Amino acid sequence: MNVCDYLLQNKPDSALALLTLRRDYTYGQLRQEAASVAAALANSGAKKGDRAILIAENTFFWVAAYLGIMRAGLVCVPLATGSSPEDLQHLVDVTLPVCAFLEGKFAVKFRGLGSCCHVYTDLPLELPNHTSVTSLSDVAHAGGRSAPLPEVLGTDLAALMFTSGSTGKPRGVMVSHQNIIANTNSIIEYLSLTYADRIMAVLPFHYCFGTSLLHTHLRVGGSVVVDSRFMYPEVVLQRMQATGCTGFAGVPSHYQILLRRSNLARMTFPALRYVQQAGGQLAPTFIKELREALPGKQIFIMYGQTEATARLSYLPPELLDSKLGSVGRGMPGVKLLVLDENGTPVKPGETGEIVADGDNVCLGYWRDQEESTNCFRDGKLYTGDLATVDEDDFIYIVDRAKDFLKCGGKRVSCRQLENVLLTFPELLEVAVVGVPDEILGEAAVAHVVLRNSKAGLIANEVKNFCREHLPPAFVPKHIVFHKALPKNSSGKVLKLLLRDQVATAECVQ
Protein backbone atom coordinates (compact mmCIF):
# COMPACT_ATOMS: atom_id res chain seq x y z
CA MET A 1 0.00 0.00 0.00
CA ASN A 2 1.05 3.56 -0.70
CA VAL A 3 2.22 5.20 2.56
CA CYS A 4 -0.08 8.19 2.03
CA ASP A 5 -3.18 6.00 1.81
CA TYR A 6 -1.94 3.82 4.66
CA LEU A 7 -1.67 6.83 6.96
CA LEU A 8 -4.83 8.73 6.00
CA GLN A 9 -7.42 6.07 5.20
CA ASN A 10 -10.60 5.88 7.31
CA LYS A 11 -9.85 9.02 9.34
CA PRO A 12 -12.78 11.35 10.14
CA ASP A 13 -12.45 14.58 8.19
CA SER A 14 -13.15 16.66 11.29
CA ALA A 15 -10.54 14.99 13.54
CA LEU A 16 -7.48 17.08 14.41
CA ALA A 17 -4.26 15.89 12.77
CA LEU A 18 -1.77 18.72 13.28
CA LEU A 19 -1.66 21.50 15.87
CA THR A 20 0.80 24.22 14.88
CA LEU A 21 1.57 27.53 16.56
CA ARG A 22 -0.45 29.39 13.93
CA ARG A 23 -3.52 27.14 13.58
CA ASP A 24 -4.88 23.61 13.77
CA TYR A 25 -5.48 21.31 10.79
CA THR A 26 -7.88 18.41 10.38
CA TYR A 27 -7.48 15.10 8.59
CA GLY A 28 -9.89 16.35 5.94
CA GLN A 29 -7.69 19.35 5.20
CA LEU A 30 -4.57 17.20 5.15
CA ARG A 31 -6.14 14.64 2.84
CA GLN A 32 -7.31 17.35 0.44
CA GLU A 33 -3.95 19.15 0.34
CA ALA A 34 -1.99 15.91 -0.15
CA ALA A 35 -4.31 15.02 -3.02
CA SER A 36 -3.68 18.45 -4.59
CA VAL A 37 0.07 17.89 -4.41
CA ALA A 38 -0.22 14.44 -5.99
CA ALA A 39 -2.45 15.79 -8.76
CA ALA A 40 -0.08 18.66 -9.51
CA LEU A 41 2.84 16.26 -9.84
CA ALA A 42 0.89 13.87 -12.05
CA ASN A 43 -0.21 16.72 -14.33
CA SER A 44 3.34 18.05 -14.53
CA GLY A 45 4.53 14.83 -16.17
CA ALA A 46 6.60 13.68 -13.18
CA LYS A 47 7.04 9.92 -13.27
CA LYS A 48 7.08 7.21 -10.64
CA GLY A 49 10.52 7.05 -9.06
CA ASP A 50 11.45 10.68 -9.82
CA ARG A 51 12.90 12.57 -6.87
CA ALA A 52 11.33 15.59 -5.16
CA ILE A 53 13.27 17.66 -2.63
CA LEU A 54 11.41 18.96 0.44
CA ILE A 55 12.76 21.83 2.56
CA ALA A 56 10.50 23.30 5.22
CA GLU A 57 10.06 23.57 8.94
CA ASN A 58 7.57 21.32 10.75
CA THR A 59 4.49 22.77 9.10
CA PHE A 60 1.27 21.73 7.44
CA PHE A 61 3.04 22.45 4.14
CA TRP A 62 5.78 19.92 5.01
CA VAL A 63 3.30 17.17 5.91
CA ALA A 64 1.03 17.73 2.90
CA ALA A 65 3.97 17.85 0.48
CA TYR A 66 5.56 14.73 1.99
CA LEU A 67 2.38 12.68 1.70
CA GLY A 68 1.44 14.04 -1.73
CA ILE A 69 4.89 13.31 -3.16
CA MET A 70 4.65 9.67 -2.08
CA ARG A 71 1.03 9.38 -3.27
CA ALA A 72 2.18 10.43 -6.73
CA GLY A 73 4.80 7.67 -6.70
CA LEU A 74 7.74 10.05 -6.44
CA VAL A 75 10.61 9.71 -3.97
CA CYS A 76 10.66 12.38 -1.28
CA VAL A 77 14.07 13.80 -0.29
CA PRO A 78 13.54 15.72 2.97
CA LEU A 79 16.43 18.04 3.82
CA ALA A 80 17.29 20.24 6.79
CA THR A 81 16.41 23.92 6.53
CA GLY A 82 19.88 24.61 7.93
CA SER A 83 21.60 23.02 4.93
CA SER A 84 24.07 25.31 3.24
CA PRO A 85 23.53 26.23 -0.44
CA GLU A 86 26.75 24.32 -1.20
CA ASP A 87 25.53 21.15 0.53
CA LEU A 88 22.20 21.50 -1.21
CA GLN A 89 23.89 21.72 -4.59
CA HIS A 90 25.79 18.50 -3.84
CA LEU A 91 22.55 16.70 -2.94
CA VAL A 92 20.85 18.06 -6.06
CA ASP A 93 23.71 16.66 -8.15
CA VAL A 94 23.37 13.30 -6.39
CA THR A 95 19.58 12.94 -6.54
CA LEU A 96 18.73 14.86 -9.77
CA PRO A 97 15.28 16.03 -8.60
CA VAL A 98 12.52 16.95 -11.02
CA CYS A 99 10.98 19.34 -8.52
CA ALA A 100 11.37 20.85 -5.06
CA PHE A 101 8.90 21.86 -2.37
CA LEU A 102 10.30 24.93 -0.66
CA GLU A 103 8.80 26.89 2.21
CA GLY A 104 8.68 30.53 1.20
CA LYS A 105 10.73 31.81 4.14
CA PHE A 106 13.73 29.92 2.74
CA ALA A 107 13.23 31.00 -0.87
CA VAL A 108 16.07 33.51 -0.91
CA LYS A 109 18.56 31.15 0.73
CA PHE A 110 17.78 28.33 -1.71
CA ARG A 111 16.85 30.38 -4.76
CA GLY A 112 19.26 28.29 -6.84
CA LEU A 113 16.73 25.45 -6.81
CA GLY A 114 14.66 27.29 -9.39
CA SER A 115 17.42 26.96 -11.95
CA CYS A 116 17.53 23.16 -11.81
CA CYS A 117 13.94 22.05 -11.23
CA HIS A 118 10.37 23.24 -10.82
CA VAL A 119 9.69 24.74 -7.39
CA TYR A 120 6.45 24.49 -5.42
CA THR A 121 5.98 26.86 -2.48
CA ASP A 122 3.47 27.29 0.32
CA LEU A 123 2.53 30.84 -0.74
CA PRO A 124 2.80 32.78 -4.02
CA LEU A 125 6.26 34.25 -4.52
CA GLU A 126 8.81 34.96 -7.19
CA LEU A 127 12.38 33.73 -7.32
CA PRO A 128 14.73 36.17 -9.07
CA ASN A 129 15.41 35.27 -12.72
CA HIS A 130 13.24 32.15 -12.53
CA THR A 131 9.66 31.52 -13.62
CA SER A 132 9.33 27.82 -12.65
CA VAL A 133 7.52 28.48 -9.36
CA THR A 134 4.02 27.34 -8.40
CA SER A 135 2.28 27.91 -5.08
CA LEU A 136 0.17 25.14 -3.58
CA SER A 137 -2.61 27.67 -3.02
CA ASP A 138 -2.76 28.16 -6.80
CA VAL A 139 -2.78 24.40 -7.34
CA ALA A 140 -5.66 23.91 -4.90
CA HIS A 141 -7.74 26.66 -6.51
CA ALA A 142 -7.09 25.43 -10.05
CA GLY A 143 -9.17 22.28 -9.58
CA GLY A 144 -9.80 20.15 -12.64
CA ARG A 145 -9.02 16.51 -13.27
CA SER A 146 -5.56 15.06 -12.72
CA ALA A 147 -3.62 12.57 -14.75
CA PRO A 148 -3.86 8.99 -13.46
CA LEU A 149 -1.75 8.28 -10.40
CA PRO A 150 0.61 5.30 -10.68
CA GLU A 151 0.24 2.08 -8.73
CA VAL A 152 2.79 2.03 -5.92
CA LEU A 153 4.22 -1.23 -4.61
CA GLY A 154 5.62 -1.91 -1.19
CA THR A 155 9.09 -2.40 -2.64
CA ASP A 156 9.03 0.99 -4.38
CA LEU A 157 11.14 3.80 -2.96
CA ALA A 158 9.23 6.24 -0.77
CA ALA A 159 12.03 8.47 0.49
CA LEU A 160 15.75 9.14 0.54
CA MET A 161 16.65 10.00 4.13
CA PHE A 162 20.10 11.53 4.26
CA THR A 163 22.10 10.67 7.35
CA SER A 164 23.48 13.48 9.45
CA GLY A 165 27.00 12.96 8.12
CA SER A 166 28.59 12.57 11.57
CA THR A 167 31.25 10.46 9.89
CA GLY A 168 31.83 13.09 7.23
CA LYS A 169 29.82 12.13 4.16
CA PRO A 170 25.99 12.26 4.16
CA ARG A 171 24.50 9.15 2.63
CA GLY A 172 21.01 8.74 1.25
CA VAL A 173 19.22 5.81 2.87
CA MET A 174 16.72 4.24 0.48
CA VAL A 175 13.46 3.79 2.38
CA SER A 176 10.63 1.82 0.75
CA HIS A 177 6.89 2.09 1.36
CA GLN A 178 6.97 -1.32 3.02
CA ASN A 179 9.84 -0.23 5.30
CA ILE A 180 7.73 2.66 6.62
CA ILE A 181 4.59 0.58 7.03
CA ALA A 182 6.42 -2.24 8.86
CA ASN A 183 8.27 0.11 11.21
CA THR A 184 5.14 2.14 11.93
CA ASN A 185 3.11 -0.95 12.82
CA SER A 186 5.83 -2.16 15.18
CA ILE A 187 6.16 1.15 17.02
CA ILE A 188 2.39 1.50 17.39
CA GLU A 189 2.25 -1.97 18.93
CA TYR A 190 4.86 -1.53 21.66
CA LEU A 191 3.80 2.05 22.51
CA SER A 192 0.12 0.98 22.53
CA LEU A 193 -0.85 4.07 20.53
CA THR A 194 -4.50 4.91 19.79
CA TYR A 195 -6.51 7.76 18.28
CA ALA A 196 -6.51 9.37 21.75
CA ASP A 197 -2.74 9.91 21.69
CA ARG A 198 -1.23 13.33 21.07
CA ILE A 199 2.56 13.75 20.74
CA MET A 200 4.64 16.87 21.31
CA ALA A 201 7.00 17.08 18.32
CA VAL A 202 10.15 19.12 18.87
CA LEU A 203 12.18 16.89 16.53
CA PRO A 204 12.42 17.96 12.87
CA PHE A 205 10.31 15.91 10.47
CA HIS A 206 13.24 15.51 8.06
CA TYR A 207 14.95 13.36 10.73
CA CYS A 208 13.79 9.72 10.83
CA PHE A 209 12.89 9.90 14.54
CA GLY A 210 10.75 12.97 13.88
CA THR A 211 9.17 11.38 10.81
CA SER A 212 8.28 8.28 12.83
CA LEU A 213 6.23 10.44 15.22
CA LEU A 214 4.23 11.68 12.26
CA HIS A 215 3.78 8.19 10.78
CA THR A 216 2.62 6.53 13.98
CA HIS A 217 0.18 9.19 15.12
CA LEU A 218 -1.41 9.70 11.71
CA ARG A 219 -1.85 5.95 11.31
CA VAL A 220 -3.81 5.60 14.56
CA GLY A 221 -5.79 8.79 13.97
CA GLY A 222 -4.07 10.70 16.75
CA SER A 223 -2.58 14.18 16.55
CA VAL A 224 0.80 15.89 16.46
CA VAL A 225 1.56 19.13 18.31
CA VAL A 226 4.36 21.05 16.61
CA ASP A 227 6.57 23.40 18.57
CA SER A 228 9.96 24.64 17.38
CA ARG A 229 10.73 26.75 20.46
CA PHE A 230 12.77 24.26 22.46
CA MET A 231 15.40 26.92 23.10
CA TYR A 232 12.75 28.04 25.60
CA PRO A 233 11.92 24.68 27.22
CA GLU A 234 9.46 26.16 29.73
CA VAL A 235 7.30 27.39 26.87
CA VAL A 236 7.21 23.92 25.32
CA LEU A 237 6.32 22.31 28.65
CA GLN A 238 3.49 24.80 29.16
CA ARG A 239 2.14 24.03 25.69
CA MET A 240 2.26 20.32 26.47
CA GLN A 241 0.02 21.04 29.45
CA ALA A 242 -2.31 23.31 27.49
CA THR A 243 -2.79 20.90 24.57
CA GLY A 244 -3.07 17.74 26.68
CA CYS A 245 -0.13 15.90 25.14
CA THR A 246 -0.04 12.22 26.04
CA GLY A 247 3.53 11.73 24.78
CA PHE A 248 6.88 13.46 24.34
CA ALA A 249 9.87 12.32 22.27
CA GLY A 250 13.45 13.54 22.27
CA VAL A 251 17.12 12.78 21.87
CA PRO A 252 19.51 12.88 24.88
CA SER A 253 20.17 16.62 24.63
CA HIS A 254 16.45 17.37 24.99
CA TYR A 255 16.19 15.44 28.23
CA GLN A 256 19.45 16.83 29.60
CA ILE A 257 18.13 20.36 29.12
CA LEU A 258 14.69 19.53 30.54
CA LEU A 259 16.19 17.92 33.63
CA ARG A 260 18.86 20.47 34.42
CA ARG A 261 17.62 23.71 32.87
CA SER A 262 13.83 23.67 33.29
CA ASN A 263 11.10 23.24 35.89
CA LEU A 264 10.10 19.80 34.57
CA ALA A 265 10.33 18.14 38.00
CA ARG A 266 8.11 20.83 39.57
CA MET A 267 5.36 20.68 36.93
CA THR A 268 2.46 18.28 36.54
CA PHE A 269 1.20 16.75 33.30
CA PRO A 270 -2.16 15.05 33.93
CA ALA A 271 -2.58 13.88 30.31
CA LEU A 272 0.98 12.63 29.83
CA ARG A 273 1.17 8.85 29.53
CA TYR A 274 4.73 8.24 28.35
CA VAL A 275 7.97 9.70 27.02
CA GLN A 276 10.27 8.10 24.46
CA GLN A 277 14.02 8.59 23.98
CA ALA A 278 16.28 7.56 21.12
CA GLY A 279 18.95 9.17 18.95
CA GLY A 280 21.90 8.16 21.12
CA GLN A 281 22.43 7.00 24.67
CA LEU A 282 20.89 8.89 27.57
CA ALA A 283 23.34 8.39 30.43
CA PRO A 284 21.99 6.25 33.30
CA THR A 285 22.25 9.18 35.71
CA PHE A 286 19.78 11.14 33.54
CA ILE A 287 17.44 8.16 33.24
CA LYS A 288 17.24 8.03 37.04
CA GLU A 289 16.56 11.78 37.17
CA LEU A 290 13.88 11.46 34.49
CA ARG A 291 12.09 8.72 36.41
CA GLU A 292 12.09 10.89 39.55
CA ALA A 293 10.87 13.94 37.60
CA LEU A 294 7.97 12.04 35.97
CA PRO A 295 6.64 9.63 38.60
CA GLY A 296 4.02 7.25 37.29
CA LYS A 297 4.81 7.96 33.62
CA GLN A 298 6.13 5.30 31.24
CA ILE A 299 9.68 5.88 30.03
CA PHE A 300 10.63 4.10 26.80
CA ILE A 301 14.36 3.88 26.10
CA MET A 302 14.81 2.98 22.44
CA TYR A 303 17.47 2.31 19.84
CA GLY A 304 17.36 2.79 16.10
CA GLN A 305 19.09 3.89 12.93
CA THR A 306 18.07 5.72 9.77
CA GLU A 307 19.08 2.53 7.92
CA ALA A 308 16.31 0.72 9.81
CA THR A 309 13.67 3.35 8.89
CA ALA A 310 13.62 4.53 12.50
CA ARG A 311 13.38 2.05 15.39
CA LEU A 312 15.05 -1.29 16.14
CA SER A 313 14.54 -1.99 19.84
CA TYR A 314 12.97 -0.75 23.05
CA LEU A 315 13.30 -1.40 26.76
CA PRO A 316 9.92 -2.04 28.44
CA PRO A 317 9.37 0.69 31.07
CA GLU A 318 8.82 -1.84 33.84
CA LEU A 319 12.40 -3.07 33.34
CA LEU A 320 14.00 0.35 33.60
CA ASP A 321 15.52 -0.42 37.00
CA SER A 322 16.55 -4.04 36.51
CA LYS A 323 18.01 -3.42 33.03
CA LEU A 324 19.33 0.13 33.48
CA GLY A 325 21.61 1.05 30.56
CA SER A 326 20.08 -1.48 28.17
CA VAL A 327 18.32 -0.63 24.90
CA GLY A 328 16.20 -3.73 25.34
CA ARG A 329 15.59 -6.34 22.68
CA GLY A 330 14.29 -6.25 19.13
CA MET A 331 10.85 -4.67 18.82
CA PRO A 332 7.95 -6.61 17.24
CA GLY A 333 8.93 -7.83 13.78
CA VAL A 334 12.65 -7.21 14.29
CA LYS A 335 15.32 -9.76 15.19
CA LEU A 336 18.46 -8.34 16.77
CA LEU A 337 21.64 -10.34 17.29
CA VAL A 338 25.04 -9.34 18.63
CA LEU A 339 27.61 -11.20 16.54
CA ASP A 340 31.36 -11.64 16.90
CA GLU A 341 33.84 -11.39 14.02
CA ASN A 342 32.98 -14.96 12.96
CA GLY A 343 29.25 -14.24 12.78
CA THR A 344 28.51 -16.17 15.98
CA PRO A 345 26.21 -14.76 18.68
CA VAL A 346 28.27 -13.45 21.59
CA LYS A 347 27.98 -14.78 25.11
CA PRO A 348 27.21 -12.52 28.09
CA GLY A 349 30.14 -10.21 28.71
CA GLU A 350 31.55 -10.55 25.19
CA THR A 351 31.42 -7.70 22.68
CA GLY A 352 30.14 -7.89 19.12
CA GLU A 353 28.29 -5.93 16.43
CA ILE A 354 24.52 -5.46 16.45
CA VAL A 355 22.93 -7.04 13.36
CA ALA A 356 19.26 -6.43 12.52
CA ASP A 357 16.79 -8.44 10.45
CA GLY A 358 13.25 -7.28 9.65
CA ASP A 359 10.98 -5.62 7.10
CA ASN A 360 12.11 -2.22 8.38
CA VAL A 361 15.70 -2.77 7.16
CA CYS A 362 16.12 -0.39 4.23
CA LEU A 363 17.24 -1.15 0.68
CA GLY A 364 20.74 0.33 0.90
CA TYR A 365 22.45 3.63 0.17
CA TRP A 366 21.54 5.71 -2.87
CA ARG A 367 24.11 5.14 -5.63
CA ASP A 368 26.76 3.90 -3.19
CA GLN A 369 27.25 0.22 -3.88
CA GLU A 370 30.41 -0.13 -1.81
CA GLU A 371 28.86 1.15 1.43
CA SER A 372 25.63 -0.71 0.72
CA THR A 373 27.58 -3.96 0.42
CA ASN A 374 29.40 -3.25 3.69
CA CYS A 375 26.30 -2.47 5.76
CA PHE A 376 23.48 -4.40 4.07
CA ARG A 377 24.17 -8.12 3.63
CA ASP A 378 21.60 -10.79 2.78
CA GLY A 379 18.79 -8.43 3.76
CA LYS A 380 20.30 -7.76 7.19
CA LEU A 381 21.67 -4.50 8.57
CA TYR A 382 25.15 -4.48 10.09
CA THR A 383 24.82 -1.44 12.30
CA GLY A 384 28.44 -0.72 13.22
CA ASP A 385 27.35 -0.45 16.86
CA LEU A 386 29.26 -2.58 19.35
CA ALA A 387 27.34 -4.13 22.22
CA THR A 388 27.18 -6.83 24.87
CA VAL A 389 24.25 -8.95 26.05
CA ASP A 390 23.17 -10.26 29.43
CA GLU A 391 21.78 -13.66 30.38
CA ASP A 392 18.31 -12.61 29.16
CA ASP A 393 19.62 -11.40 25.76
CA PHE A 394 19.04 -7.75 26.60
CA ILE A 395 21.42 -5.55 24.64
CA TYR A 396 23.82 -3.00 26.12
CA ILE A 397 25.51 -0.74 23.57
CA VAL A 398 29.20 -0.11 24.21
CA ASP A 399 29.76 2.49 21.48
CA ARG A 400 30.11 3.05 17.77
CA ALA A 401 33.00 1.00 16.40
CA LYS A 402 34.74 4.26 15.41
CA ASP A 403 34.24 5.97 18.77
CA PHE A 404 36.88 4.22 20.88
CA LEU A 405 40.13 5.60 22.23
CA LYS A 406 43.38 3.72 22.85
CA CYS A 407 45.15 5.46 25.72
CA GLY A 408 48.41 3.94 26.93
CA GLY A 409 47.60 0.69 25.16
CA LYS A 410 44.16 0.40 26.81
CA ARG A 411 40.93 0.70 24.81
CA VAL A 412 38.05 2.69 26.22
CA SER A 413 34.69 3.79 24.86
CA CYS A 414 34.10 7.53 24.65
CA ARG A 415 30.56 6.82 25.82
CA GLN A 416 31.90 5.15 28.96
CA LEU A 417 33.94 8.23 29.84
CA GLU A 418 31.02 10.55 29.10
CA ASN A 419 28.73 8.57 31.42
CA VAL A 420 31.21 8.91 34.27
CA LEU A 421 31.65 12.65 33.78
CA LEU A 422 27.88 13.24 33.62
CA THR A 423 27.50 12.01 37.18
CA PHE A 424 29.11 15.33 38.18
CA PRO A 425 25.90 17.30 38.86
CA GLU A 426 27.06 20.65 37.44
CA LEU A 427 27.64 19.22 33.95
CA LEU A 428 24.83 19.50 31.42
CA GLU A 429 26.52 17.90 28.40
CA VAL A 430 29.77 16.03 27.74
CA ALA A 431 31.39 14.86 24.51
CA VAL A 432 34.73 13.04 24.60
CA VAL A 433 37.07 12.90 21.58
CA GLY A 434 40.63 11.73 21.10
CA VAL A 435 43.78 13.68 20.21
CA PRO A 436 47.32 12.43 19.45
CA ASP A 437 49.58 12.22 22.50
CA GLU A 438 53.33 11.56 22.56
CA ILE A 439 53.19 9.47 25.74
CA LEU A 440 49.81 7.70 25.61
CA GLY A 441 49.51 7.50 21.82
CA GLU A 442 46.01 8.97 22.14
CA ALA A 443 44.54 11.10 24.91
CA ALA A 444 40.99 12.03 25.82
CA VAL A 445 39.65 15.57 25.53
CA ALA A 446 36.38 16.30 27.30
CA HIS A 447 34.18 19.00 25.80
CA VAL A 448 31.65 20.08 28.42
CA VAL A 449 28.72 22.42 28.94
CA LEU A 450 27.97 23.55 32.48
CA ARG A 451 24.54 23.61 34.03
CA ASN A 452 24.73 27.11 35.48
CA SER A 453 28.22 27.68 36.88
CA LYS A 454 30.98 29.71 35.26
CA ALA A 455 33.93 27.76 33.89
CA GLY A 456 36.55 29.79 35.73
CA LEU A 457 34.96 29.07 39.11
CA ILE A 458 34.43 25.35 38.72
CA ALA A 459 37.24 24.16 36.43
CA ASN A 460 39.36 22.75 39.27
CA GLU A 461 36.39 20.85 40.69
CA VAL A 462 35.77 19.18 37.33
CA LYS A 463 39.46 18.28 36.99
CA ASN A 464 39.58 16.81 40.51
CA PHE A 465 36.41 14.82 39.85
CA CYS A 466 38.03 13.26 36.77
CA ARG A 467 41.14 12.30 38.74
CA GLU A 468 39.04 10.72 41.47
CA HIS A 469 36.71 8.71 39.21
CA LEU A 470 38.84 7.71 36.20
CA PRO A 471 42.01 5.63 35.77
CA PRO A 472 45.07 7.83 35.14
CA ALA A 473 45.32 6.93 31.43
CA PHE A 474 41.72 8.02 30.83
CA VAL A 475 41.76 11.33 32.69
CA PRO A 476 41.13 14.00 30.01
CA LYS A 477 44.25 15.79 28.82
CA HIS A 478 42.11 18.89 28.36
CA ILE A 479 38.69 19.89 29.63
CA VAL A 480 37.17 22.32 27.16
CA PHE A 481 34.29 24.47 28.38
CA HIS A 482 31.64 25.56 25.87
CA LYS A 483 28.48 27.61 26.07
CA ALA A 484 26.93 24.96 23.77
CA LEU A 485 28.19 21.93 21.87
CA PRO A 486 27.85 21.97 18.08
CA LYS A 487 24.84 19.91 16.98
CA ASN A 488 23.03 19.03 13.80
CA SER A 489 19.35 19.83 13.31
CA SER A 490 18.37 16.59 15.06
CA GLY A 491 20.15 17.56 18.26
CA LYS A 492 23.09 15.17 17.88
CA VAL A 493 26.57 16.38 18.83
CA LEU A 494 28.97 16.82 15.91
CA LYS A 495 32.16 15.31 17.24
CA LEU A 496 34.04 15.87 14.00
CA LEU A 497 33.82 19.61 14.61
CA LEU A 498 34.90 19.28 18.24
CA ARG A 499 38.27 17.85 17.29
CA ASP A 500 39.13 21.22 15.78
CA GLN A 501 37.54 23.47 18.39
CA VAL A 502 40.04 23.59 21.27
CA ALA A 503 41.42 26.92 20.05
CA THR A 504 37.99 28.57 19.72
CA ALA A 505 36.36 27.25 22.92
CA GLU A 506 35.32 29.50 25.78
CA CYS A 507 37.81 28.07 28.26
CA VAL A 508 40.44 25.29 28.09
CA GLN A 509 41.90 23.67 31.19
Fold classification of 404-508 (topology level): GMP Synthetase; Chain A, domain 3 (3.30.300)
* Comma-separated ranges of CATH 3.40.50.980 domains in the chain: 3-152
The CATH superfamily assigned to 174-400 is ANL, N-terminal domain (3.40.50.12780)
pLDDT in tens, the chain (509 residues): 899 999 999 999 999 999 999 999 999 999 999 999 999 999 999 999 999 999 999 999 999 999 999 999 999 999 999 888 888 999 999 999 999 999 999 988 888 887 788 999 998 777 665 557 888 877 766 555 678 999 999 999 999 999 864 445 789 999 999 999 999 999 999 999 999 999 999 999 999 999 999 999 999 999 999 999 999 999 999 999 999 999 999 999 999 999 999 999 999 999 999 999 998 889 999 999 999 999 999 999 999 999 999 999 999 999 999 999 999 999 999 999 999 999 999 999 899 999 999 999 999 999 999 999 999 999 999 999 999 999 999 999 987 766 778 786 677 888 888 889 999 988 998 999 888 877 777 788 999 999 887 777 788 888 899 898 888 888 998 899 988 888 887 788 888 788 766 544 555 55
pTM (2 decimals)? 0.87
* Comma-separated ranges of CATH 3.40.50.12780 domains in the chain: 174-400
Side chain identity, residue 342 = N
* Comma-separated ranges of CATH 3.30.300.30 domains in the chain: 404-508
Q: Could you tell me which of 182, 209, 207 has the C-alpha nearest to residue 6?
A: 182
Measured in whole angstroms, how far is the alpha carbon of residue 426 from the centre of its chain? 27
Fold classification of 3-152 (topology level): Rossmann fold (3.40.50)
* Number of C-beta neighbours around residue 237 at 10 A: 20
Please report how the helices 60-71 and 27-44 are oriented relative to each other, as an axis angle in degrees rounded to 10: 50
In contact, 102 and 110? CB cutoff 8 Å:
yes
Cα dist from 298 to 159, 312, 313, 328, whole Å = 31, 19, 16, 15
455: exposed, middle or buried (Cβ count in 10 Å: 0-12, 13-18, 19+): buried
Measured in whole angstroms, how far is the alpha carbon of residue 235 from the centre of its chain? 22
